[in-house]
Amino acid sequence: MFFHIVKEKNMRLHPRYFGPRIREKLVMKLREEVEGTCSRRHGFVVTIIGIDDIGEGKICEVTGFAIFPVTYQCVVFMPFIGEVLEAAVTIVNKMGFFAEAGPLQIFVSTHLIPQDMVFQTGDIRNYTSNDKSVKIQKDSEVRLKIIGTRVDPTEIFCIATMNEDFLGVINDDPVTAIQHSEVIHQVTQ
Amino acid sequence: MSLTAESPVHSSSSSDDFVAALELDLAMNNSSSSSSTSSNKSLGRDSSNAGSDKDEDTDGEKEINKEGEQEADEEGQEADEEGHRRIKRCKIENIDVTLKSKSAIVNDLLSKRGCPHPGLYKGLCVNCGKPIEDDGSGVAFGYIREGLTVRPTEIQRLREIDLKNLFHKKKLILVLDLDHTLLNSTRYVDISFEEDLLLRKIDPMHGDPKRSLFRLDSMHLLTKLRPYVHTFLSEASNMYEMYIYTMAERSYALEIAKILDPSEVYFHSKVICQSDCTQRYQKGLDVVLGAENTVVILDDTEAVWQKHKQNLILMERYHYFSSSSRQFNSNFKPLLLAKEDESETDGILYSILTVLKRVHHMFYDTVSEDNLNGSDVRLVLRNVRQEILQGCKLVFSHIFPSESRGEDHRIWRMCEQLGAKCYTEVDLSITHIISNDRGTRKSRWAIENEKFLVNPGWVEGAYFLWRRMQEKDYPVSTPRILNPPKIESAQVE
């Protein structure tokens, strides 16, 4: 789920940047250091929206760097266990399929795919239901429920299930699905 | 109304009560695990069901009582049957109610029974999502996705499913090596001056779909594909599901896969490289998700397949660049410098393709749906090999020391695999003498008695091309004392 939170960070700045553009430099460095990182508490930091306050910089006696406490607003993405979200399928293979929801990498194993969906190899690998009405293939949109998460410094991985009510394929038409996923990508980037 | 007054056997009614109480409990448990709203509904429904069932049953019992001529046991039995039927009815109601949340039940049951943790993705169990310690029993499938490991029981289950799938599609599995089997690569720095000149002459237009020379600039490598490789791949893909298994690095393997398979049809997620091997310097079929009796391996090196020699079809090495024949201390002149290339229509890949077709037919002739393990590719390969030199009786001359046992030598074993019989002494039933020296006693005996006299290349030709070669193409020349024979060290017999 996306959240808009206020965070604080102590930024270290080298004295060479003490000058007329010090504030810009601070903000630039903040963006470089924070955007795209993950933390266990807040999840994936998608983007910084604005700077609330930059406190007084204190010079560290030992190194000569100045330390500025910066308060900023950012959008974060944090998956929760039990959360239902929509994802776009990226890779399909015999052990399950991989999907992406923004910066999140999700794996759904065959154990958690409805039993009637069978893996088909071939030109386009997919899972097809018994009556051939439903297909999971690359670029399909699916609704999943997260059952496990793991946060690395740069990425978040999840295990999800499709075996419950109201979960499953939303749209297996790759054309419209790609258009949707492009919108999602634009928002998160 | 009171049950106890009506029913003659006191015990059955109390058992009915007990059964009813049990069912109520069951209903409550089931509905508590589903969402709250449906649970209220189901609770209400179930209790009313139980109540109504009780009513129905008392009516039934009344009828039985009215009939009256039954013995106590039978009545007890009937009451029990009624009880069973009531249980069934309740269960059906339960199933209806919980159909909406059956998966929740399943998950609940699973967690009660304990998730078997069939595999891990980045440390999380793929079935229950909990972080699990990797105890090393799983096999890492990094080539499918980094961070994926699968436990042995799950691998077994996947293999069985794969076997059924293969059977339905009438396919087998083919594991292909890259270097010297399908292509030959060389580094830019290893190309000699003459080779460079020759390459410039040959280098065709970039857009040519039939080109076989490719530059991998990011890795400073030049690659030459073996002739006939594209046709080979497209024909083999109709009968086999193909994997690439190489001892090279992943980046190289993926680049080559892109060249061989630009539309990612053959090898998507099936490129296994050195980092995926579970044992150092050994290739194994444990990372291939397929039953061992369906896998055929094409490789130029036997040493890396110690555990699966019977699945292996050994390929003659493809030396196009001089750096590669230098690497193997080979006596063969590299093809580029010799200004020639393997024949498209009569080369190694073509012969191997015929063999693969044959193996495929023979496998699917003997296998049936309910006995998928009945056929074995290894047996088929062995049988096909045995036919090549069937009926030949061979004696070796000047090939290996006569004190040593013939069976220990590679060429003896090759001949036996090819179906020929090897002997140490000559007699009139012998058909071929294998020698490098025309002047030996056995060679002269062969010439006198009009038996075939061939050099060891005849055996190798049969082994690599899977057919009996023309004996006249492998003559034995007059002895040159200064040059030792090629295959084994020799002694005067």
Across A35-44, A113-122, B476-485, least confident range = B476-485
Residue B329 C-beta-side C-alpha neighbours within 13 Å: 1
Distance between CA atoms of residues B95 and B98, nearest Å: 5
DSSP string, A141-171: EEEEEEEEEEE-SS-EEEEEE--STT-EEEE
Of A94, A109, A164, the CB nearest to B126: A109
Q: What fold characterizes domain B389-473?
A: Rossmann fold (3.40.50)
Of A96, A121, A159, the CB nearest to B129: A159
Closest by alpha carbon to B388, among B353, B417, B346?
Answer: B417
pLDDT 10s digits, B54-104: 444 444 344 444 444 444 444 445 455 555 555 555 555 555 554 545 555
| CATH fold match for the domains B166-364 and B389-473 | yes
The better pLDDT of the pair B398, B226 is held by B226
Distance between CA atoms of residues B2 and B62, nearest Å: 11
pLDDT 10s digits, B167-218: 888 889 999 999 889 988 888 888 888 888 777 777 655 556 677 888 888 8
Residue A49 C-beta-side C-alpha neighbours within 13 Å: 12
The mean pLDDT of A96-121, rounded to a whole number, is 89
For chain A, domain boundaries: 2-77, 84-179
Which residues of A lie closer than 8 Å to B, measured between beta carbons?
A: 81, 91, 93-96, 98, 107, 109, 111-112, 119, 121, 123, 125, 146-150, 152, 157-159, 161, 163-165
- Report the CATH number of the B166-364 domain: 3.40.50.1000
Within 8 A of A150 by CB-CB distance, chain B residues are 122-124, 131
At residue B233's C-alpha, the angle toward residues B150 and B239, to 5°, is 70
Say if residue B378's pLDDT is above 50. Answer: yes
Interface-testing mutation among B103, B267, B270, with chain A (most A C-beta atoms within 10 A): B103
What's the whole-number average pLDDT of chain B? 75
Please judge whether A150 and B162 are an interchain contact, meaning their C-beta atoms are less than 8 angstroms apart: no
Q: What ipTM does this complex have?
A: 0.76
Name all contacts of B136-143 with Cβ < 8 Å and 24+ positions apart.
B139/B278, B139/B286, B139/B287, B140/B276, B140/B278, B140/B287, B141/A95, B141/B276, B141/B287, B141/B289, B142/B275, B142/B276, B143/B250, B143/B269, B143/B270, B143/B271, B143/B272, B143/B273, B143/B276, B143/B287
Contacts of B395 (CB under 8 A, 6+ apart): B422, B423, B424, B425, B426, B430, B432, B433, B434, B442
The residue of chain B with its CA nearest to that of A90 is B145
Of B124, B241, B268, the CB nearest to A148: B124
Class of domain A2-77: alpha beta
Say if residue B10's pLDDT is above 50. Answer: no
> Which pLDDT score is estimated for A158?
92
Distance between CA atoms of residues B93 and B331, nearest Å: 81
> Which pLDDT score is estimated for A106?
93
Most confident of B30-34, B110-114, B341-345: B341-345
Is the distance from CB of B183 to CB of B229 less than 8 angstroms? Answer: yes
Helix (H) or strand (E) holding B238: helix B229-239
For residue A165, the tally of other CB atoms under 10 A from its CB is 14
How close is the nearest chain B Cα to the Cα of A115, in Å?
Answer: 11
Please judge whether B126 and A96 are an interchain contact, meaning their C-beta atoms are less than 8 angstroms apart: yes
Say if residue B493's pLDDT is above 70. Answer: no
How close is the nearest chain B Cα to the Cα of A33, in Å?
Answer: 25
Interface-testing mutation among B37, B121, B160, B287, with chain A (most A C-beta atoms within 10 A): B121
**pLDDT band, residue B489 (cuts 50/70/90):** very low
Please judge whether A96 and B106 are an interchain contact, meaning their C-beta atoms are less than 8 angstroms apart: no
The better pLDDT of the pair A73, B66 is held by A73
> Which pLDDT score is estimated for B61?
42
For chain B, domain boundaries: 116-150, 166-364, 389-473
- Which residues partner with B423 through β-bridges? B395
> Which pLDDT score is estimated for B67?
42
Please judge whether B129 and A150 are an interchain contact, meaning their C-beta atoms are less than 8 angstroms apart: no
Gyration radius of chain B's alpha carbons = 36
- Report the CATH number of the A84-179 domain: 2.40.50.140
How close is the nearest chain B Cα to the Cα of A18, in Å?
Answer: 42
